[in-house]
Structure 1
Amino acid sequence: MLIEDKYILKDSNPFKMQPYEEATINLELEKNPPCYSTLLTGRVFDRDSPISNATVAVFDRNLNPLFHTTTNEEGIYNFINVLNPGEYKVVASAKYYSTSTAKCIVLRPNDVYELSFSLKTNSALLNGLVYGKILMEGRNMAIPDAIINLKSSDDPNKIIYRTTSNNNGQYIIYDILPYKYIMEVKKVGYLPFNPIELTVETYKFIPLNVNLIRDSSNSTGTISGTILSHKVPVSNTAVFLYSLNARGNETIVQVQVTNKYGVYLFSDVSNGSYMVKCKLQNGEDFQRNITI
């Protein structure tokens, strides 16, 4: 005769007894949940070949994870007396394979449910992958919006793959056909980077960080704007760029004249504090403080 627990083992918190003390310890028992005899079993395979170490995961109807297991050398998995009767969704996955669709099942008491999965090779990872960060040399700062090109080693003028770094300097290029490539990285304001030769192979993930050097000779900026009078652009207006020192003294460093659309542009402006003023003879004055 099978003897089963009716209640779950309950324990109290640790306590100390003092001499002549009368201790009272109350415990509230919880009923042991019923144990149903259920079996979910099946096979994970690629065409006719079993996939070992594949993961089979069981979710509730809202895709909240509950249990998972792995397949044996024959691609077989089992959930024995683990799942209570009810509705579940089951998903299978394996390294280098795409995740299967979620299959809905309904388990009943003392039921055996067979569910197998045929996985397809993950085309995105079947080929190679290159990833890493674009950083500023010596400062370990991320460089966003850098352009990363992969070119064929046979034709360096032909770009085959291209991406850009994100705000954290990260980039990734996947599904790269196995071959020999030349990788180049470009970013305005940084010195040209010596191209890197790399060999991409099937299922090969290549980590590659690149450090760029700031181009100090190309660190200047521009100042531009529009001169208006009563919301109408004013052409042929003289615009003056003043530099401001620590004491607030003003020195004219550039002069421009607006075009027919009232637009002016100062180029090759170094870091510092500036003020822009404009004047049309016998006309109106305009000024604005600017810090670069």
Structure 2
Amino acid sequence: MPAPRLSVVLTRRLPEVVETRMKELFDVELRENDIRMSRDELAAAMRRADVLVPCVTDPIDAALLAQAGDKLKLIANYGAGIDHIDVASARQRGVLVSNTPGVVTEDTADMTMALILGVTRRIPEGMALMQSGQWQGWSPTAFMGGRVGGRRLGILGMGRIGQAVARRARAFGMQVHYHNRRRLRPEIEAEVEATWWESLDQMVSRVDVLSINCPHTPSTFHLMNARRLKLMKPSAVIVNTSRGEVIDENALTRMIRAGEIAGAGLDVFEHGHEINPRLRELPNVVLLPHMGSATVEGRVEMGEKVIINIKTFADGHRPPDLVVPGVM
């Protein structure tokens, strides 16, 4: 007699091909709409599931995990970032946590370069004029931005995505600098022609573009605080496709409004979808709705990793993308 299939609850709609494959393998409860679950709905889902498949929009803390009961055995996160999950508390309760690293590297790096170009070449301002119907024709001095070739790019966080950004930036003729907890191996540094800075303060004060590519952890919360933002050159811009909490958003808004920073390109925000209204008003700021990994290919590959993690767990083995507390 075959073993009973695992009960799996999805908190959001996933690509159809992913949901179809999950239904073939597991006893899946799909989300009828694509509205994020309330805290009570999350708690109930965790009580009736063997496996929960949450997203970045689902904060799962110790208090919520305490309501899970004994049925839940795996949280198979749909996404690489896991700062919304209290992994240590989950493990203490015997609940494993997996994620989907690596599959969004190229997509996020593409979006980082798009934001760099968008801010430095003033693309949204030009689009807004065209959409308003008020364009009167070409002018020699209209919408003059800056050339990215020759500029110094500082990368904060030189993991997979940071290195992918560096490769793209070199193709555009940018000079690559980086700050990381650990210096890269010499051969990797040589490949992307990157200069390591042990001091983040010193790097920030010298670059023309700063790209945030580090995860959100207690040590990186407001890493770019008001003091550090003031070190940036008034002509510099900052781009963030990682986690909004790394930047003090209010301080950034004040400084851009005051002309102390030339502009910003943000795909993530400190308070989720609640964005400082003064930030939205600024013409030299490009805001995107967390689109960094939003490609068909990337989202399907994320789903495939989730399926592999659940299937491996169902077969009695360690999920290949198991998140281990203390190694994050």
Larger relative contact order (CA 8 Å, sep ≥ 6): 2
Mark yes or no: TM-score above 0.5.
no
TM category, shorter: under 0.3
The structure richer in helix per residue is 2
Task: Calculate the TM-score normalised by the size of structure 2.
Answer: 0.20
Structure with larger Rg: 1
